[in-house]
A = this chain, B = another copy of it.
Amino acid sequence: MGDNDMILEFSLLIILLGSLVALFYSLFRSRWIFRQPVHDAKLQKIGKAISSGAMAFLSREYRVLVPFVLIAAAFLAVGNKGVLRYQALSFVLGASFSALAGFIGMKVATASNSRTTEAARTGINEALNIAFSGGSVMGMTVVGLALTGVFIILGVSLVLTDITVLYLRESILPILSGFSLGASSMALFARVGGGIFTKAADVGADLVGKVEAGIPEDDHRNPATIADNVGDNVGDVAGMGADLFESYVGSLVGAMILGAAVEGTASLQMKLVTFPLLIAAAGVLASLIGIKFVKVRKGQSPQVALNKGTFGAAILAALFVLIMSLLYFRGEIFPVSMSPIRIFLSALLGMAAGVSIGLITEYFTGVDTRPVNAIVKACETGPATTLITGMGMGMLSALPPVLIIVTAILAGDQLSGLYGIAIAALGMLMTLGVQLAVDAYGPIADNAGGLAEMAEFPRAVREITDELDAVGNTTAAIGKGFAIGSAALTSLILFTAFREQLGLKVIDLMDVKTLSGVLIGAVIPYLFSSMAMNAIGDAAFAMIEEVRRQFREKPGILDETEEPDYERCVDISTSAALKKMILPGLTAALTPVLVGFTGGVFMLSGLLIGVTVSGVVLAIFMSNAGGAWDNAKKMIESGAAGGKGSAAHKASVVGDTVGDPFKDTAGPSLNILIKLMAVVSLVIAPMLKSFWRL
């Protein structure tokens, strides 16, 4: 291969294949899930309530967001010149595909949960099969839609014109970054909105139901219980899906842009630009094989099955990249300090970094580790020491991941320059299909347990779902590590792409404007987290009032002579989430625009760096502190430090309640925030260039 068009056509063919494989898998697997039976009438009814609550939330959310999407698209159409106006279209495409992925994932997840409960009557393997299938549909849909979007944009471009590397760099890739922007915007709103919904419902259900009324978690007499389970879906499933959709697209587009920036022959450049597509397609195949590995043998823990799937896919993926890089780049002349093997090593570096961050996350947040044991011990002296110790551990836990990210940056740069860093980021997300399957499997199993409780299934069923729920932790922690690591690297890549677009040779840290930008940037994650936490506070307060009101006005709820009004609680969470997600979302999206057009490109550059470094550290701190409190509580509930009902248990509940918005709302939203601000800047770069006459 040497002709540019041929290279592009070949890689387009490959991602078309990749996206078709992923989407067809999703289609057939979800049809299989829907065919599974739910015999129990009560289970059916409750399952339907959760499903329709979740879908109602999603469609209301999308309806709220439509005007924003259209306004932003109009801004892109008006602000841009020439062919770049198509950014508006690709932006809408990105937003729609993200919404679609969320919609499909949610539909399947809310169908899988009750079927998992039903299957748990038969056995753990049957239940695992359904829960994991639900997750795998989510994973493959996200990957498939992302690749489809990229295929459409590149394919249409190829049909309309002859594509040179220069044209790619100056027109097509900027348009593609519009797709990424659409995905990021939706992701931020989905994460924040879903996060507020789920935590408001959770806090309301726990504080009034468990603590005040003294009924168990997931008891059907609790008016907030349906809202709580809907929340798990809209927060953990739809929120996470949108989140990783945008990570995946962001790292793909970022790597393509940096590929076009490498000095070399036209054919080498074209191959470097398209290689990320090949990596993605190979990742689909590896994920699919990995998913097939997930089967429990008799007497084996489900954890072994999940590990086989995740690690199997990763090893295969690495092998694919090695082979592809040797074949694809054969005969190309590389600049010094770049080679096919070095590109392969960059991808491997990314995977290693992601796994390491994951293992460290597991160490700081897992059951029965030294840090979590310290928190359990601190619970014995009350909530204050619980919080101080948890925060101390959370802060400490930020150091190793940062050092790993720094190592990945420096080593990636040594291997293949900025392109190496980009490939490392992409390497982390290459097997997203199976990673997301494991991630989304958790909430499905959790929900299945809640359903077993609400539908008053026998204890044995709940035990199976509990076992399923418990095992995903390590693999999920590794997934989190990939999310954090790739967020940091991707936002740096997008930042680099932004600088390329503007043609800035140097961004001097001594410039007072740059410095001011860094300082402002550093405070934005705090502002954003504050908004998220205050929103949860307000929404939870409304929920608490409502649940108290129902118990007061319908005293028959507790002895089951009256029916609680579940819908009213779902409605409160929905309205609060939709109202409260707007301000943080707009702050994130508009700050770069404001700073870019008033403070200039150097202040904006500083802002991006400030947001990234401060956001990464704050996000790790919040996520890990929250995770550690969660598991400290679980350890105490399994008998540590006096067990359930002890003073230590009460202290651990306080820790967990504080940790919930940390780990499920503010923390993960920050990962999107830093990328969203970078991609907004990248997209407005051409406008800034003409505005400031650079």
A573 to chain B, nearest CB (A): 17
Whether A520 sits at the interface, judged by CB under 8 Å, is yes
Q: Are B514 and A658 in contact (CB under 8 A)?
A: no
Q: Are A654 and B410 in contact (CB under 8 A)?
A: no
Q: Are A526 and B616 in contact (CB under 8 A)?
A: no
**A 130-145 to B, binary, CB cutoff 8 A, 1 in contact else 0:** 0000000000000000
Q: Are A514 and B509 in contact (CB under 8 A)?
A: yes
> How many Å lie between the Cα of A360 and that of B479 in the bound state?
41
**A 372-407 to B, binary, CB cutoff 8 A, 1 in contact else 0:** 000000100111110111011111101100110110
Whether A621 sits at the interface, judged by CB under 8 Å, is yes
Interface residues of A in 83-112 (CB under 8 A from B): none
A388-B533, A399-B526, A522-B616 known, 12 other contacts, Cβ within 8 Å: A385-B541, A385-B657, A388-B661, A392-B530, A395-B526, A395-B529, A402-B522, A406-B519, A409-B512, A507-B509, A518-B613, A522-B617
Chain B hits for A387, CB < 8 A: 387, 654, 658
Q: Are A536 and B393 in contact (CB under 8 A)?
A: no
Chain B hits for A336, CB < 8 A: none
Chain B hits for A203, CB < 8 A: 384
Contact of A527 among B395, B421, B529 (CB under 8 A): B395
> How many Å lie between the Cα of A573 and that of B220 in the bound state?
52
Whether A238 sits at the interface, judged by CB under 8 Å, is no
Whether A235 sits at the interface, judged by CB under 8 Å, is no
Contact of A606 among B509, B533, B606 (CB under 8 A): B509
9 A-B pairs in the complex with CB atoms less than 8 angstroms apart = A381-B541, A382-B654, A385-B540, A387-B387, A389-B537, A395-B533, A398-B527, A410-B513, A509-B606
Chain B hits for A606, CB < 8 A: 509
Whether A508 sits at the interface, judged by CB under 8 Å, is yes
Chain B hits for A518, CB < 8 A: 518, 609, 613
Whether A369 sits at the interface, judged by CB under 8 Å, is no
Instruction: Point out which of A382, A384, A530 has the most chain B C-beta atoms below 10 A from its C-beta.
Output: A384
A551 to chain B, nearest CB (A): 16
Q: Which residues of A contact B (CB under 8 A)?
A: 203, 207, 378, 381-385, 387-389, 391-396, 398-399, 402-403, 405-406, 409-410, 413, 418, 421, 488, 492, 496, 499, 504, 506-510, 512-516, 518-523, 526-527, 529-531, 533-534, 536-537, 540-541, 544, 605-606, 609-610, 612-614, 616-617, 621, 653-654, 657-658, 661
Chain B residue at minimum C-beta to C-beta distance from A512? B413
> How many Å lie between the Cα of A657 and that of B381 in the bound state?
12
A356 to chain B, nearest CB (A): 16
> How many Å lie between the Cα of A141 and that of B389 in the bound state?
38
Chain B hits for A612, CB < 8 A: 519
Chain B hits for A393, CB < 8 A: 530, 534
Chain B hits for A613, CB < 8 A: 518-519, 521-522, 610, 613-614
Chain B residue at minimum C-beta to C-beta distance from A387? B658
A676 to chain B, nearest CB (A): 19
Contact of A515 among B394, B492, B621, B654 (CB under 8 A): B492
Chain B hits for A383, CB < 8 A: 383, 654
Q: A527-B396, A537-B389 are in contact. Are A406 and B516 (CB under 8 A)?
A: yes
Copies of this chain: 2
A188 to chain B, nearest CB (A): 18
A354 to chain B, nearest CB (A): 17
A645 to chain B, nearest CB (A): 17
> How many Å lie between the Cα of A600 and that of B586 in the bound state?
39
Q: A207-B381, A658-B387 are in contact. Are A509 and B508 (CB under 8 A)?
A: yes
Q: A609-B509, A609-B518 are in contact. Are A657 and B384 (CB under 8 A)?
A: yes
Chain B residue at minimum C-beta to C-beta distance from A605? B509
Chain B hits for A617, CB < 8 A: 522-523, 526, 614
Chain B hits for A621, CB < 8 A: 526
Q: Which 4 A-B pairs have the closest CB atoms?
A: A384-B657, A395-B530, A392-B533, A522-B613
Q: Are B654 and A409 in contact (CB under 8 A)?
A: no
> How many Å lie between the Cα of A544 and that of B196 in the bound state?
39
Chain B hits for A402, CB < 8 A: 519-520, 522-523
Chain B hits for A653, CB < 8 A: 384
Chain B hits for A207, CB < 8 A: 381-382, 384
Chain B residue at minimum C-beta to C-beta distance from A540? B385
A239 to chain B, nearest CB (A): 19
Chain B hits for A526, CB < 8 A: 395-396, 398-399, 617, 621
Chain B hits for A522, CB < 8 A: 402, 522, 613-614, 616-617
Chain B hits for A488, CB < 8 A: 519
> How many Å lie between the Cα of A405 and that of B540 in the bound state?
35
Q: Are A510 and B507 in contact (CB under 8 A)?
A: yes
Chain B hits for A395, CB < 8 A: 526-527, 529-530, 533
> How many Å lie between the Cα of A529 and that of B403 in the bound state?
18
Chain B hits for A519, CB < 8 A: 402, 405-406, 409, 488, 612-613, 616
A97 to chain B, nearest CB (A): 31
A85 to chain B, nearest CB (A): 29
> How many Å lie between the Cα of A269 and that of B394 in the bound state?
49
Chain B hits for A396, CB < 8 A: 526-527, 530-531, 534
Chain B residue at minimum C-beta to C-beta distance from A393? B530
Chain B hits for A403, CB < 8 A: 520
Q: A381-B541, A616-B522 are in contact. Are A510 and B499 (CB under 8 A)?
A: yes
Chain B residue at minimum C-beta to C-beta distance from A519? B613
Chain B hits for A378, CB < 8 A: 537
Q: Are A385 and B512 in contact (CB under 8 A)?
A: no
Q: Are A392 and B534 in contact (CB under 8 A)?
A: yes
> How many Å lie between the Cα of A624 and that of B415 in the bound state?
45
Chain B residue at minimum C-beta to C-beta distance from A528? B395
Contact of A533 among B391, B398, B492, B531 (CB under 8 A): B391
Q: A403-B520, A526-B621, A530-B396 are in contact. Are A658 and B509 (CB under 8 A)?
A: no
A412 to chain B, nearest CB (A): 8
Chain B hits for A605, CB < 8 A: 509
Chain B residue at minimum C-beta to C-beta distance from A516? B406
Chain B residue at minimum C-beta to C-beta distance from A412? B512
Chain B hits for A381, CB < 8 A: 207, 541, 544
Chain B hits for A385, CB < 8 A: 537, 540-541, 657
A507 to chain B, nearest CB (A): 4
Q: Are A658 and B384 in contact (CB under 8 A)?
A: yes
Q: A207-B382, A403-B520, A508-B506 are in contact. Are A537 and B661 (CB under 8 A)?
A: no
